[in-house]
Amino acid sequence: MSKQFDVVVIGGGPGGYIAAIRAAQLGFQVACIDEWKNAAGGPAPGGTCTNVGCIPSKALLQSSEHFDHANHHFAEHGISAKDVKMDVAKMIARKDNVVKQNNDGILYLFKKNKVTFFHGRGSFAGKAEGGYTINVAGKTEEAITAKQVIIATGSNARALPGTPFDEVNVLSNDGALRVGAVPKKLALIGSGVIGLEMGSVWRRLGADVTILEGLPTFLGAVDEQIAKEAKKAFDKQGLKIELGVKVGDIVNGKKGVTVNYTNAKGEAIVLDADKLIVSIGRVPNTVGLNAEAVGLQLDERGAIVVDGDCKTNLPGVWAVGDVVRGPMLAHKAEEEGVAVAERIAGQHGHVNFNTIPWVIYTSPEIAWVGRTEQQLKADGVAYKAGTFPFLANGRARALGDTTGMVKFLADATTDEILGVHMVGPQVSELISEAVVAMEFKASAEDIARICHAHPSLSEATKEAALAVDKRTLNF
Ligand code: FAD
Ligand code: NAI
C-alpha cells in the first residue's frame, strides 16, 4: 500500500520547503519531494535559490566586493595591501560550502518539523480516492498519495533561440556561478538583475565586462531617478552597458564566443568574449510533472494557472513561486507557500503583492517597494516626492560609501507612503523599514517622526520622509 500524506509538496525550493514546514507546523502529515542533486548525487534541497541563485550569487558578490575593497578602498583607510590576489578556486569552494550549509539546514528543518523528504522527481500518476497519486522517481520508484498537493517546481533560465547553454562558454546562472578563472572578456545578454549582479562579480575580479540590453531603457521596472543614479555608478566602475541593441548571430567557438549585434545607432558590432552569460529572464518549470495525467492547466508560457489564492484548476492542487504568475523572487515564493499551507488548514493566508520588496545586490545596492514615480504618473495619482542623498549621511561618510539616495513617494492628500526607492550602501537592509511602514499604511510623516539611531544609514530613510514635507534637517 502506498504511503499516504495529507499534503505532498513537489519541489523543495523556497516556495516548496517553506510550504512543507508551515503545513507540518499546522499538524498535517507532510512529504516534500525534490530532485536537485549535489555534486555527489545526494540531495540538495533549496532549489534554484540555494543551489544556483540567491545564496551562491550573494557569496560571490561578497568575495568579489572584499577583493575590490582591498584593491581600491583600503588605501584611503591607511591600509596598504600590495599584490592582492584572488584565488578563484577557493572563492568558488567557499561559495559551494555556503550552499551546502543551506542544503543541510533544510534537511535538518525537515527532520525537526517531521516532514518526510523524498529525493527524486515527483510526477502526477493520476487521481486517487480523496486526492492524488504522485510517483516519486529517485534511486527507487514509489507511489505516494496526498489529499492536497502543492506544486513549487520553480523556473529555469531562458536560452536565446539557437544558442543553447553549454555551461562552458555559453552560461546560464548555473555556469556563471562556477567559472573556474576570471575571463578576460565577459559578455552578458540582458541587463536585468542577474546581468548586473553577475557582471559586477566578474568585473570586480578583473574581467572586461560588456552587457548587451535589448530595451532602450536601463532597469525599466526601477524608479527612473534611482535607475539613472545606479547607471552613473556602474558607468564609473567600468561596467559597459549597451542599451537598445539587437542581438544577431552568436558563434560558440573553441576559443570563446562571438556575439554579433546591432547597437542603438544601427551600427553592426562584433564582440568577442571568452564567456557569454545569457540572463534574459526565466521560464516556469513544469517539465516532468506529468500535468496532463490530471488535466492541470498551464498558460502559454508554461506557467501553472492559479487564482489569487494560488489555487489551480484542480481541487486540492495548489501552485506557488516561480512556476506561477508574479515576480520570480524567493521571498514571494515563501510567502505564497506559507499562505497556501494556512489556507489548507482553513486559515486566511494572505500575500500582499503591493509590498513585496525588490533588491539588486550590486554596489551600490538598489532596493524598492511599492510604486515608482513613473507608475504613479501613469496611474494619474497625485503624489509628493522627497529624496535624501547618502552624501549628507554621517554613517555613509564614515563607511566611505556616499553613493545614492533614498526616495519617498507619498499620496499628495493623505501622505500615505506609496513607494520607497533606494540606491546606495546596504539598502537591502534599509528597505525593510519601508515595507513595514507600507504594510501598516504609514504616512511619510510617521517615519519622519520616528527616532532613528545616529549615526546610521537609516537616518537617510527618516530624512527622505522629512523631505516629502520639504523639511530635511541635514541637507
Ligand atoms: P526553485 O527555487 O526553482 O525550486 C524548485 C525546486 O523544485 C528545485 O529544487 C527543482 O529541482 C525542484 N523540482 C522541479 N521539478 C520537480 C519535480 N517534478 N519533482 C521534484 N522536484 C522538482 N530571488 C530573490 O528573492 N533574491 C535573490 O537575491 C535572488 N537571486 C537570484 C540569483 C540568481 C542567479 C537566480 C537565477 C535567481 C535568483 N533569485 C533571487 C530568484 C529565486 O531563486 C527564485 O525566485 C526562487 O528560487 C523561486 O523559488 P521556487 O521555490 O518557486 O523554485
Ligand atoms: P530579468 O527579467 O531581470 O532581466 C532580463 C533582461 O534581459 C531584461 O532587461 C530584458 O529586457 C533583457 N532581454 C530579454 N531578451 C533579450 C534579448 N534577446 N536581447 C537583449 N536583451 C534581452 O531576468 P534575469 O536577469 O535573467 O533574472 C531572472 C529573474 O531572476 C529576475 O527577474 C528575478 O526575478 C530573479 N533574480 C532576482 C535577484 C534578486 O532578487 N536580487 C537576482 C537575480 C535574479
- Per-residue pLDDT tens digits for 381-435: 999 999 999 999 999 999 999 999 999 999 999 999 999 999 999 999 999 999 9
Contact between 297 and 312 under an 8 Å Cβ cutoff? The reply is yes
**Substitution site in 49, 144, 432, 435 for ligand 1 pocket (most atoms within 8 Å of beta carbon):** 49
Q: What is the dihedral of CA 458, 362, 330, 339, to 10 degrees?
A: 30
280 lines ligand 2 (CB under 6 A): yes
Query: For the residues 261-286, what does the mean pLDDT come to?
Result: 98
- Long-range (24+ apart) CB contacts under 8 A made by 327-331 are 327/356, 327/358, 328/155, 328/282, 329/356, 329/358, 330/13, 330/14, 330/49, 330/53, 330/54, 331/14, 331/356, 331/357
Write down the CATH superfamily of domain 3-157+283-351. FAD/NAD(P)-binding domain (3.50.50.60)
Alpha helices in 296-426 (DSSP H): 330-344, 373-378, 394-399
What is the residue-wise DSSP string for 324-342?
Answer: SSS---HHHHHHHHHHHHH
Residue 193 Cα to ligand 2 middle (Å)? 5
Query: Average pLDDT in the 57-70 region?
Result: 98
Write the CB contacts of 140 (distance below 8 Å, at least 6 apart in sequence). Answer: none
Q: From the CA of 370, how far away is ligand 2's center (Å)? A: 19
pLDDT reading at 1 higher than 80: no
Range(s) of the chain covered by CATH 3.50.50.60: 3-157+283-351, 170-280
Helices (H) and strands (E) in the chain, counts: 13, 22
Least Cα distance to 15 among 347, 317, 323, 351 occurs for 323
Helix, strand, coil percentages in the chain from 3-state DSSP, rounded to 5: 35, 30, 40
Q: Label residue 163 by pLDDT band (50, 70, 90).
A: very high
Mutate to test the pocket of ligand 2, among 177, 279, 325, 422 (most ligand atoms within 8 A of CB): 279
Q: Does the pLDDT at position 304 exceed 80?
A: yes
Compute the mean pLDDT over every residue in the chain, rounded to the nearest whole number.
Answer: 97
pLDDT of res. 448 = 98
Split at pLDDT 50, 70, 90, the class of 176 is: very high
Identify the CATH number of the domain defined by range 170-280. Answer: 3.50.50.60
Cell numbers describing residue 441 = 499604511
CATH dotted code for 355-468: 3.30.390.30
pLDDT of residue 2: 81
Residues facing residue 367 across a β-bridge: 359, 422
Condensed to tens digits (0 to 9), the pLDDT of residues 434-461 reads 999 999 999 999 999 999 999 999 999 9
Give the residue, by CA position, lying nearest to ligand 1 atom 36: 53
Q: What is the pTM of this model?
A: 0.98
327 Cβ closer than 6 Å to some ligand 2 atom: yes
* Location of each CATH 3.30.390.30 domain in the chain: 355-468
Residue 265 has pLDDT above 90, yes or no: yes
Percent of the chain with pLDDT over 90: 99
Q: Would you please indicate which residues are annotated as catalytic (active-site) residues? A: 454
Element (H, E) at 248: strand 246-252
pLDDT at 130 over 90: no
Q: Which pLDDT value is given to residue 286?
A: 96
Task: Report, as an integer, the average pLDDT of 342-351.
Answer: 97
Distance 408 CA to ligand 2 centre (A): 26
Cβ(120)–Cβ(138) under 8 Å? yes
d(CA 452, CA 472): 14
Predicted confidence at residue 367, as pLDDT, reads: 98
